[in-house]
């Protein structure tokens, strides 16, 4: 049985994906998604962070195998595997650039399909095919130039040429404009229109709604792994698309909203510049929860990491003021000593030593307090860890278990617990509840509110809009490494944050 | 509708999955506990089947050989646990301290010579540690380089001379002395092991080494001066190598710049065979000791059974490859 979506197209179908389901562990990343793309169509796939866009694209390209459903090109069902998909004409232009910097443009374009003659690389043909591909997309660049010497934009174009050189039927682009300037973006969009005009089916994934409205014919909107709607771009508006992406009307539970009572400025950052951070000023006050919103790749993590010295800054200063004493944050060690705690985005690689026990993980930042003359106080450590495990609600509260044996939510509680032992003056959390179950999430939120109520300054980066809205006393929305707007709780809702994050100009007063 | 019929939904077969789980559990078990079983079995086998193994003369010999390797290996354990680093320069360090002890004792006294050796040990530790910990240079290459520098200087200065201690002097007496069937060097080994064990498992510094080995980034983000931890690990390794140099020189009452050839390989073999993970973080001094017993007994019974040195090398090499492969397999199984 087929429920044909309301948005019909007269184009001949090239790519058809049918009822795709993909689960990771218990979580359903893609939930019965179907999508059809016609010859010459540019089809947008949009959705919030974590809606399942990238997973779906990886399934279409055969990199991931779906748990259910299948993909067909020109009516014939694809075998599993990236090779089969590539041979059937599906080419994916990656979000993360996948070029080899030391190799030349020509070598990169034909990587994996390098032409040979008697077992030796046929560099004449290699340059010819690579040159043809670049001509097709209208980009001129020296074929013998190593990719490492090219600008980000040219690298992106080489990446596209690489896909085009394989004579695809379907071209998939995942956030191709994330690192491009407006002029470069313009160029890329018209390039895609030219390619589509020649009958190529293009899937265009972007957060940037204006781009979608400029080149796309239809848009499939994903939310929580499901298709919420298939829209014909000519018949809708940017605001309607954003509403569909966000989906839920903001229901602010006034019971959970605390009344913030901000004190003195604890963290002050001025003119911060770093990789993907372009001049940021930011203050966080005692007892205040400051939220940083924006899309993936907007520079949010980079911003907080540069402020507290985890990653190097190229310009700017940051200071922390505790009990009237102001310290310049000139490195991460210095930040920690001054009373800053940092809960990183990557819990498993940066937050915890998974094969050490919970107690050992908690000991790490508190080692000085828990040792005498260089010797660890074992009795003290056990007590200390138990007390903190209790504060954060670790379940089961077995501190001699390896951290890796716990669920994501409990692991995150351990990361927070280890810092609470230091009684931080400022706690910085990057994606505090990613991959955390609903119960643990609520507990972590409660904990952060309590911390703020006790006068701790809290800085939260989150892709989870409801979380950001629920927690924050003020939200800064970041795009392209800049703060695009600052919203008070009254102004902040899912639409106003998304609008700023996606670069859609919206009257901000409502 | 033919389209949906064409699409097969593969159902994962649960039996295959648990079978694979069982294998990976077995691999993990052998990788973590196997060495204790293997060593016990080797000892029983040697005592029963290898003629002359259980004699007191032979046991003393095994201890003598095991002591110096054991002390070096214990030191190396710190570098390995602190995140898969290897210190190959122990070869140069052992020879340097041995030669300094024998060559300079007549002029500066034994304690004076030991003090000078200590200076050079610290120098090795700091140069290796700073290069690896702060400059992030590759540990194998750095310590290969410092080996070359150290052995080169030593050969130039000593001119390849063999230094003999006075017969019946305190160094000679130490080398010959024994308590029951055990040479004094065995007690040095035990003392070093106890101190190292306490440092690794009970002190803040040992804790940071283990933590850094488990997860470098998480340890750094907890505010640990990670470069300092690496320097400390290399300094401990250098101190152990210095003590091993003293013990080795005393045993034969001689020292020469080539006295420690092959000790890097054998010490590393002991650390790895004992089951200290080359991926860092996991291991203990006890494991290293068991590893030392295993390879010492193994080469002893090969000698007793009339196999040549070439065979010993071959067998030790094979055991190392087996142990490293097992370690990697266990890690892979764990990641699943």
* Alpha helices (H) along B203-284: 204-214, 216-221, 226-252, 263-273
Residues of A in contact with B202 (CB under 8 A): 375-376, 378
Rounded to a whole number of angstroms, the distance from the CA of A376 to the nearest CA of chain B is 5
**Percent of chain A at pLDDT exceeding 90:** 51
Residue B80's pLDDT is what?
92
Confidence of residue B5 (pLDDT cuts 50, 70, 90): very low
Helix orientation angle between B285-304 and B56-81, rounded to the nearest 10 degrees = 140
Supply the pLDDT for residue A406. 86
Q: What pLDDT, in 10s, does the model give residues B301-313? A: 998 988 888 888 8
Residue ranges of domains in chain B: 32-45+53-335
A216 has a pLDDT exceeding 50: yes
Least confident interval from B68-82, B115-129, B190-204, B256-270:
B256-270
Which ipTM was obtained for this model? 0.80
Q: Which has the minimum average pLDDT: A114-118, A303-307, B19-23, B79-83? A: B19-23
Say whether residue A343 is in contact with chain B using an 8 A CB cutoff: no
Range in A115-119, B133-137, B296-300, B328-332 with the lowest mean pLDDT = B328-332
- Domain B32-45+53-335: which CATH class? mainly alpha
Nearest to A376 among B7, B202, B223 (CB): B202
Residue A505 — pLDDT band, cuts 50, 70, 90?
A: low
pLDDT tier, A504 (very low <50, low <70, confident <90, very high otherwise) = low
**Domains of chain A with bracketed CATH:** 13-246 (3.40.50.300), 250-339+424-510 (3.40.50.300), 351-423 (no CATH)
Share of chain A above pLDDT 70, in %: 93
Residue A431: pLDDT above 50?
Answer: yes
Chain B nearest-CA residue for A346? B218
Q: Which range (A92-96, A283-287, A432-436) has the least confidence?
A: A92-96
Q: What is the DSSP letter of A478?
A: E
Q: How far apart are CA A113 and CA A123, in angstroms?
A: 12
pLDDT, average across residues A32-47: 93
pLDDT at res. B11: 33
Whether chain B has a CB inside 8 Å of the CB on A180: the answer is no
Nearest-5° angle of CA B168, CA B172, CA B174?
A: 115
Contact A360 B207 (CB under 8 A): yes
pLDDT in tens, A138-171: 888 899 998 888 887 888 899 999 999 988 999 9
Alpha-carbon torsion angle B124, B130, B133, B137, nearest 10? -90
**Is the CB of B331 inside 8 Å of chain A's CB atoms?**
no
Which element (helix H / strand E) includes A292?
A: strand A289-294
In the predicted structure, residue A270 carries a pLDDT above the cut 80 = yes
Q: Which residue has the higher pLDDT, B11 or A384?
A: A384
Chain B residue with Cα closest to A365: B222
Per residue in A98-126, pLDDT tens? 788 888 999 989 888 888 888 888 888 88
- Alpha carbon A228 to chain centroid, angstroms: 21
Rounded Cα gap, residues A443 and A299, in angstroms? 27
| For range B165-187, the mean pLDDT | 87
Confidence of residue B12 (pLDDT cuts 50, 70, 90): very low
Helix (H) or strand (E) holding A380: helix A378-392
Residues 358-417 of A with CB under 8 A from B: 360, 363-365, 367-368, 371, 374-376, 378
Distance between CA atoms of residues A411 and B216, nearest Å: 18
Q: Which of residues 254 through 273 in chain B touch A, CB cutoff 8 A?
A: none
User: Does B203 reach chain A within 8 Å, measured CB to CB?
Assistant: yes
Mean predicted confidence (pLDDT) in B144-157:
94
């Amino acid at each position: 049985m087929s429920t044909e979506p309301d948005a019909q197209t007269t184009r001949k179908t090239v790519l058809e994906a049918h009822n795709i389901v993909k689960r990771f562990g218990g979580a359903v990343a893609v939930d019965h998604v179907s999508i059809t793309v016609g010859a010459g169509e540019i089809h947008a796939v949009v959705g919030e962070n974590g809606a399942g866009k990238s997973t779906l694209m990886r399934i279409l390209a055969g990199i991931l195998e779906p748990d259910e459903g299948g993909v067909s090109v020109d009516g014939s069902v694809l075998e599993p595997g990236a090779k089969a998909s590539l041979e059937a004409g599906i080419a994916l232009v990656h979000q993360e650039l996948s070029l080899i910097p030391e190799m030349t443009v020509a070598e990169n374009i034909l990587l994996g399909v390098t032409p040979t003659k008697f077992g030796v690389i046929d560099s004449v043909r290699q340059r010819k095919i690579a040159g043809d591909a670049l001509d097709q997309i209208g980009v001129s660049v020296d074929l013998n130039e190593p990719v490492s010497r090219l600008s980000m934009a040219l690298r992106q174009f080489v990446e596209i040429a690489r896909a085009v050189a394989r004579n695809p039927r379907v071209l998939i682009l995942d956030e191709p404009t994330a690192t491009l300037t407006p002029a470069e973006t313009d160029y890329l969009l018209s390039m895609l229109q030219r390619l589509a005009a020649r009958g190529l089916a293009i899937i265009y994934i972007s957060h940037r709604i204006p781009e979608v409205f400029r080149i796309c014919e239809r848009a499939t909107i994903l939310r929580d792994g499901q298709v919420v709607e298939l829209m014909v771009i000519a018949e809708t508006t940017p605001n309607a698309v954003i509403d569909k992406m966000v989906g839920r009307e903001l229901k602010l539970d006034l019971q959970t909203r605390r009344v913030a009572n901000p004190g003195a400025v604890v963290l002050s950052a001025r003119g911060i510049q770093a990789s993907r951070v372009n001049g940021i000023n930011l203050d966080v006050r005692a007892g205040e929860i400051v939220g940083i919103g924006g899309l993936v790749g907007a520079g949010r993590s980079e911003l907080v990491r540069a402020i507290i010295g985890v990653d190097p800054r190229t310009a700017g200063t940051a200071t922390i003021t505790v009990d009237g004493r102001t310290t310049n944050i000139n490195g991460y060690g210095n930040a920690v000593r001054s009373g800053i705690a940092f809960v990183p985005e990557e819990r498993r690689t940066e937050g915890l030593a998974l094969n050490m026990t919970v107690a050992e993980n908690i000991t790490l930042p508190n080692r000085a307090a828990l040792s005498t003359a260089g010797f660890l106080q074992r009795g003290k450590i056990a007590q200390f860890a138990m007390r903190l495990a209790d504060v954060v609600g670790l379940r089961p509260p077995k501190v001699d278990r390896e951290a890796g044996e716990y669920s994501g939510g409990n692991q995150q509680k351990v990361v927070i617990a280890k810092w609470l032992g230091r009684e931080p003056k400022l706690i910085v959390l990057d994606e505090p509840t990613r991959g955390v179950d609903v119960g643990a999430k609520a507990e972590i939120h409660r904990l952060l509110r309590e911390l703020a109520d006790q006068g701790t300054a809290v800085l939260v980066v989150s892709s989870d809009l409801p979380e950001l809205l629920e927690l924050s006393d003020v939200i800064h929305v970041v795009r392209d490494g800049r703060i695009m707007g600052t919203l008070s709780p009254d102004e902040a809702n899912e639409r106003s944050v998304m609008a700023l994050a996606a670069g859609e100009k919206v009257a901000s007063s409502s | 509708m033919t389209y949906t019929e064409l699409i097969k939904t593969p159902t994962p077969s649960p039996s295959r999955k648990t079978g694979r789980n069982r294998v990976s559990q077995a691999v993990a078990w052998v990788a973590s506990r196997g060495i204790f079983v293997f060593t016990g079995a080797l000892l029983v086998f040697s005592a029963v089947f290898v003629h002359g193994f259980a004699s007191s003369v032979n046991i003393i010999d095994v201890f003598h050989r095991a002591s110096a390797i054991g002390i070096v290996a214990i030191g190396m354990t710190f570098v390995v646990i602190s995140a898969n680093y290897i210190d190959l320069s122990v070869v140069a360090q052992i020879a340097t301290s041995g030669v300094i002890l024998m060559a300079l004792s007549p002029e500066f006294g034994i304690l004076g010579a030991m003090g000078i050796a200590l200076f050079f040990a610290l120098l090795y530790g700091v140069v290796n540690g700073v290069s690896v910990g702060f400059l992030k240079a590759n540990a194998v290459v750095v310590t290969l380089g410092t080996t070359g520098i150290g052995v080169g200087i030593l050969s130039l200065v000593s001119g390849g001379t063999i230094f003999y201690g006075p017969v019946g002097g305190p160094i000679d007496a130490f080398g010959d002395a024994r308590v029951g069937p055990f040479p004094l060097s065995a007690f040095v080994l035990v003392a070093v092991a106890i101190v190292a064990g306490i440092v690794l498992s009970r002190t803040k510094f040992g804790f940071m080494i283990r933590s850094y080995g488990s997860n470098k980034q998480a340890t750094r983000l907890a505010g640990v001066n990670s470069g300092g931890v690496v320097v400390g690990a290399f300094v401990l390794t250098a101190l152990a190598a210095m003590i091993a140099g003293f013990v080795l020189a005393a045993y034969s009452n001689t020292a020469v710049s080539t006295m420690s050839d092959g000790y890097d390989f054998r010490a590393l073999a002991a650390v790895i065979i004992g089951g200290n993970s080359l991926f860092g973080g996991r291991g203990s001094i006890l494991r290293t000791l068991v590893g030392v017993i295993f390879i010492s007994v193994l080469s002893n019974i090969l000698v007793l059974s009339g196999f040549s040195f070439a065979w010993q090398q071959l067998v030790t090499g094979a055991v190392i490859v087996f142990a490293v492969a097992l370690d990697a397999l266990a890690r892979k199984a764990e990641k699943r």
